[in-house]
C-alpha cells in the first residue's frame, strides 16, 4: 500500500487556528477545542494511507483549490487537499455549510 507524506499549507493552518480559537473563546470550551483539534489532525494525517482513494471533487467551491482537489469530511468541516506524486497537500479546512450539495 502506498504511503503519502502530509503537508498542511499556511492557509489551512490558519483555518484550523480560527476554528479552534472560535470553539475555545466564543463557546468558552477549551477542552472541547483541544479534543476537536486532536480529532481534526487525526483525520488529516489519516490521509497518508488512502489519499487517492477519494474521488476528485466536481464542486466549484472545491475546485478553486486545484483541478485535482479532493475532500475529506470531519464532523461539520471539510478538509480540502490535493495529491502530487507521493505528497498530500492540505489546502484548506472549511465549514461544510460553504459547499453546496
Write down the H helix ranges in the chain: 10-21, 30-50, 60-63
According to the model, what pLDDT value does residue 21 have? 97
Domains, the chain: 5-98 (3.30.2310.20)
Cell digits of residue 48:
497518508
66, 100 contact by CB (below 8 A)? no
91, 65 contact by CB (below 8 A)? yes
According to the model, what pLDDT value does residue 56 have? 97
pLDDT values of the chain reduced to their tens digit, one per residue, 101 residues: 789 999 999 999 999 999 999 999 999 999 999 999 999 999 999 999 999 999 999 999 999 999 999 999 999 999 999 999 999 999 999 999 888 76
Amino acid at each position: 500500500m502506498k504511503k503519502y507524506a502530509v503537508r498542511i499549507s499556511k492557509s489551512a493552518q490558519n483555518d484550523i487556528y480560527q476554528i479552534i480559537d472560535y470553539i475555545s473563546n466564543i463557546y468558552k470550551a477549551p477542552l472541547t477545542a483541544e479534543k476537536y483539534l486532536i480529532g481534526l489532525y487525526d483525520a488529516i494525517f489519516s490521509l497518508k494511507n488512502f489519499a487517492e482513494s477519494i474521488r476528485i471533487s466536481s464542486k466549484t467551491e472545491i475546485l478553486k483549490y486545484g483541478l485535482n482537489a479532493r475532500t475529506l469530511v470531519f464532523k461539520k468541516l471539510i478538509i480540502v487537499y490535493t495529491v502530487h506524486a507521493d505528497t498530500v497537500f492540505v489546502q484548506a479546512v472549511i465549514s461544510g455549510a460553504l459547499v453546496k450539495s
